[in-house]
């Protein structure tokens, strides 16, 4: 029992550590939001691309989601879209393999998207084949 | 003559086009693993005792093994006729899965439906997995899998409400409903609605055995939201001692109610979920009234490897001594596009009369805390 609890805590701590790391990267990508602790280093690098960059990234992210959600068979709620200066990263899941490329194509077709990194995977739905 | 001929030709063309677009698919999944569990029970009876630890070959570490046939025929004008016949089987012994009636199995116990889809949405008629299950799966990081998930938590509520586990006719909500008509709306800005009505088919009793449910879903911007309402009449009619004690006759008694709210958010490789649900017997709230809460966190390390975890809490609103907490942690590794290897561990702390299981199909005794670990493989074809 204790071993298993220990394992759980270790994995939990690991997940948190990775999480912090990922958030930091996300913060840098979106031009260093002030809420992120230890953002001082990023503010310096973000000075060249101030508010407008962050706003533009958000706007582009919204545009990509709007484009994906036009396709009724795709669940945009299971897809992560992160935009940074025209570079879009897709993550999360779709329900069949054909949708992986389809979502990437949709994202590429959105004006302002310069590149797409595709990390989507298939999650077979409950009761699915 | 000419016009007749041309129309006949047009019909023939149309018919051949429609035939060309129809298809039938045979498909399935086999999911088998090795399970160790520190305690077991032979039934879900309130007096069931811990029969000791078990090591076994177990079906369904992710979902039950199943197979099916499905097909679609394009009838033109944007309309399609769809059918699906699908059932679970136990990969360890080849037996079919549970039917509505205790002691019986059904070949197509997951789906036996025919329906129409078109611009209006989809309608399916027959036995099927009901919308509330998809709503729960969509808002659980562990996707309502068979090992430690919102599914085992919801089943735990059913066990506490007197479900013997020997049929698919449950006292709180449902996984499968027979005789069901389910409408699924198209998505509009990510929002969609599913409505279910199942006539009971009970002679002389219009409300007898009927079920109705509604699910409202939102899926956009990385966020899945779901709200569930389910209501059933004359559900779980089989006493714990059936067939020694006979089934309760259908009188139109409103005895099954389930509410659920859930959310799942995906950002980068992370997914996080939370939910809350209430299950009760509206005709006997002082005996059957439970609460369910969950939280989940997952991380996808790469396109082939992910880890998911979940916490599931059950509470008897009539007696605070009866509660249950479960944690589950699972790792999934895709060996190929169709084969998945998995390892998972779970722990459940059952108190009072609670007997929440860690994995579907491996009962534990009331009030007995249990640890389970499983490794397995899942192959789709």
CATH of the domain at A61: 3.30.1340.30
- Do residues B193 and B214 touch, judged by C-beta distance below 8 A? yes
Distance CA A57, CA A30 (A): 7
Q: Within an 8 Å CB–CB cutoff, is residue A15 touching chain B?
A: yes
Do A127 and A74 lie in one domain? The reply is yes
B19-28 pLDDT per residue, tens: 545 789 999 9
B257-301: pLDDT as tens digits: 999 999 999 999 999 999 999 999 999 999 999 999 999 999 999
Claim to verify: residue A88 and residue A103 sit in the same structural domain: yes
- How confident is the prediction for chain B on average, in pLDDT? 94
Domain ranges of chain B: 25-57+130-380
- Domain check: are A41 and A54 in the same one? no
The backbone torsions φ and ψ at residue B341, rounded to the nearest 5 degrees and listed phi first, read: -110, 145
A82 and A126 housed in the same domain = yes
Residue B97, H or E segment = strand B97-98
On chain A, the residues whose CB falls within 8 A of the CB of B189 are: 69
Contact A119 B303 (CB under 8 A): yes
Domain of residue A40 covers 1-48
A125 touches chain B (CB under 8 A): yes
Task: Tell whether B327 lies on the interface with A, counting CB pairs under 8 A.
Answer: yes
Closest-CA distance of chain B to residue A80, Å: 5
Pairs across A and B, CB distance < 8 A:
119
Q: How many domains does chain A have?
A: 2
Choose from B26, B268, B302, B345 for mutation: most chain A CBs within 10 A. Answer: B268
What's the pLDDT score for residue B241? 86
Same domain, A62 and A1: no
A8 and A36 both lie in a single domain? yes
Structural fold of domain B25-57+130-380: Porin (2.40.160)
Are residues A112 and A59 located together in one domain of the fold?
yes
- Do A63 and A107 lie in one domain? The reply is yes
Least confident of A40-44, A55-59, B56-60, B64-68: A40-44
pLDDT grade, residue A54 (50/70/90)?
A: very high
Cβ partners under 8 Å of residue B95, min gap 6: B89, B105
Taking an 8 Å cut-off on Cβ atoms, the answer to whether A127 and B86 are in contact is: yes
Tell me the residue length of chain A.
129
Pinpoint the alpha helices (H) of B53-209: 131-138, 150-160
- Chain A: nearest CA to B375, how far in angstroms? 16
> Residue B222 and residue A93: Cβ atoms within 8 Å?
no
pLDDT for A120 equals: 96
Residue A112 tokens read as 């302002």
- Identify the weakest region by mean pLDDT among A125-129, B103-107, B188-192: A125-129
Rounded to two decimals, what is the model's pTM?
Answer: 0.86
Q: What ipTM did this prediction achieve?
A: 0.88
Q: Are residues A32 and A61 in the same domain?
A: no
- What local confidence, expressed as pLDDT, does residue B277 receive? 98
The vertex-A114 CA angle with A112 and A115, nearest 5°, equals: 135
Dihedral sign for Cα atoms in the order B135, B139, B293, A8: positive
Closest of B87, B27, B37, B77 to residue B57, by C-alpha: B37
pLDDT at A129: 58
Both A32 and A2 in one domain: the answer is: yes
Q: Is A69 found in the same domain as A112?
A: yes
């Amino acid at each position: 029992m204790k071993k298993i609890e220990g394992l759980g805590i270790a994995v939990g701590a690991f997940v948190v550590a990775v999480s912090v790391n990922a958030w930091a990267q996300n913060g840098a990508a979106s031009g260093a939001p002030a809420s992120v602790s230890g953002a001082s280093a990023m503010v310096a690098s973000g000075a060249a691309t101030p508010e407008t960059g962050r706003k533009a990234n958000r706007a582009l992210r919204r545009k990509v989601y709007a484009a994906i959600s036009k396709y009724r068979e795709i669940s945009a709620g299971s897809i992560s879209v992160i935009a940074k200066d025209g570079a879009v990263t897709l993550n999360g899941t779709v329900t069949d393999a054909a949708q992986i490329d389809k979502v990437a194509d949709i994202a590429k077709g959105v004006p302002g998207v310069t590149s797409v990194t595709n990390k989507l995977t298939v999650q077979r739905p409950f009761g699915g084949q | 003559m000419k016009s007749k001929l041309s129309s006949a030709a047009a019909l023939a063309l149309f018919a051949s086009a429609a035939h060309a677009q129809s298809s039938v698919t045979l498909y399935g999944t086999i999911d088998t693993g090795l399970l160790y569990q520190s305690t077991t029970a032979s039934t879900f009876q309130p007096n069931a005792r811990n029969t000791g630890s078990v090591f076994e070959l177990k079906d369904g570490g992710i979902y039950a093994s199943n197979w099916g046939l499905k097909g679609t025929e394009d009838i033109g004008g944007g309309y399609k006729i769809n059918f699906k016949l699908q059932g679970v089987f136990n990969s360890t012994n080849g037996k079919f899965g549970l039917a509505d009636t205790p002691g019986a199995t059904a070949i197509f116990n997951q789906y036996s439906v025919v329906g129409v889809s078109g611009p209006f949405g989809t309608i399916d008629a027959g036995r099927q997995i009901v919308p509330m299950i998809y709503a729960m799966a969509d808002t659980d990081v562990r996707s309502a899998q068979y090992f430690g998930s919102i599914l085992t938590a919801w089943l735990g509520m059913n066990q506490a409400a007197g479900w013997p586990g020997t049929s698919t006719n449950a006292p709180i909500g449902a996984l499968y409903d027979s005789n069901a008509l389910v409408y699924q709306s198209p998505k509009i800005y990510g929002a969609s609605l599913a409505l279910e009505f199942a006539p009971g088919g009970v002679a002389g009793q219009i409300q007898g055995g009927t079920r109705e449910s509604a699910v409202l879903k939102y899926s956009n911007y990385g966020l899945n939201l779901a709200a569930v309402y389910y209501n059933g009449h004359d559900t779980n009619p089989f006493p714990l001692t059936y067939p020694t004690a006979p089934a309760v006759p259908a009188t139109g008694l409103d005895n099954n109610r389930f509410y659920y709210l859930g959310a799942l958010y995906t950002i980068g490789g992370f997914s996080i979920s939370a939910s809350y649900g209430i299950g009760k017997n509206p005709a006997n709230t002082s005996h059957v009234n439970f609460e369910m809460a969950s939280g989940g966190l997952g991380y996808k390390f790469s396109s082939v490897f992910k880890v998911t975890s979940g916490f599931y809490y059950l509470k008897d609103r009539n007696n605070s001594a009866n509660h249950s907490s479960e944690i589950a942690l699972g790792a999934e590794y895709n060996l190929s596009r169709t084969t998945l290897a998995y390892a998972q561990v779970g722990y459940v702390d059952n108190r009072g009369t609670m007997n929440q299981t860690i994995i579907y199909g491996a009962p534990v005794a009331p009030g007995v805390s249990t640890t389970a670990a499983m490794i397995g493989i899942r192959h789709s074809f």
